[in-house]
Amino acid sequence: MELDLDLMTQEETGRLELLEAVIRKDLKGFIRVGMALKEIKDKRLYRGKYTTWKDYLKGEWDISRAYGDRYIDAFEVIENLNSSFRKSAPIGALLDEDGPDQNVHHGGHSEEDSDAFEFPFPKNEAQTRPLTLLKPEQQPEAWKMAVRMSGHKVTALAVNKVVQEILEAQLEEDKNGIQQTIIKEVTVPDDFSSQFTRLLEILDMHRKSGWKEFNRKKALEFIKSIEEYLNS
């Protein structure tokens, strides 16, 4: 079967070769690899040899789409933390021969930049993975909490614990918000009240079991949609 491939410009081909060299040299360096993969994916620089992103990852790097996308997600978390902590400093400031610049200070800095020097950045993709469950604006504070809780010796488990606590608090807040919305209604049908009570019982059951096999992010989206519907 003949592949329907798009033509690449000489500039695009050269850029692809450069990015692939970065990946090939440092496949375990999650920031560089994530940055390179993101550009290849966003600009579809793989289209000269492959028709899909999935085929490119499998054919060139023997990794799954989910695995490749995790690199990109990790890079986007780092980019977000960098933007929050270092203000205007470019993402390249985080990179050296050994990976992320772990809290190294090169010269003076203003008070507003102090976060960049007080908090080290994630050292591996596993530490960023739980943060992807949060909204971008929640990620910096969650990372700070994990660093403080771990005494600057951060583990993926510590980050996950903080993220789960944030999601649980958010779920509780949204649940209470829906309850208040219902209370304000003039009338609430008995069948609705009984089903809502049952929903709360199910949530409490999963909370007590440690939220095993329960996607709280999806549950929050579902609850938010109910609240928006009731307020419409």
Q: Which residues have a Cβ under 8 Å from the Cβ of 96 and sit 6 or more positions away?
A: none
Q: Are 101 and 93 in contact (CB under 8 A)?
A: yes
Q: pTM of the full predicted structure?
A: 0.64
pLDDT at residue 120, as a whole number:
82
Q: Is pLDDT at 174 greater than 80 in this prediction?
A: no
Instruction: Name which residue leads in pLDDT, 37 or 118.
Output: 37
From the CB of residue 132, how many other CB atoms can be counted at a distance below 10 Å?
A: 16
| pLDDT tens-digit map of 71-96 | 999 999 999 998 888 755 556 555 54
Q: Is pLDDT at 117 greater than 70 in this prediction?
A: no
**Percent of the chain predicted with pLDDT > 70:** 76
Q: Is pLDDT at 41 greater than 50 in this prediction?
A: yes
Instruction: Name which residue leads in pLDDT, 140 or 115.
Output: 140
Q: Helix-strand-coil percent breakdown of the chain, rounded to 5?
A: 70, 0, 30
Q: How far does the chain reach from its first CA to its final CA, in angstroms? A: 52
pLDDT category of residue 27 using cuts at 50, 70 and 90: low
Question: b or e along 18-45 (b: 16 or more beta carbons within 10 Å of the residue's beta carbon)?
Answer: ebbebbeebeebbbbbbbbbbbbbeeeb
Alpha helices, DSSP H only, in 189-232? 190-208, 216-231
Domains of the chain: which residue ranges? 1-122, 161-231
| CA proximity to 61, closest of 30, 5, 20, 3 | 20
Q: State the average pLDDT over residues 168-196.
A: 69
What does the block give as tokens for 159?
Answer: 């980050």
pLDDT at residue 81, as a whole number:
92
Instruction: Name which residue leads in pLDDT, 54 or 201.
Output: 54
| CA proximity to 214, closest of 203, 224, 227 | 203
pLDDT at residue 56, as a whole number:
95
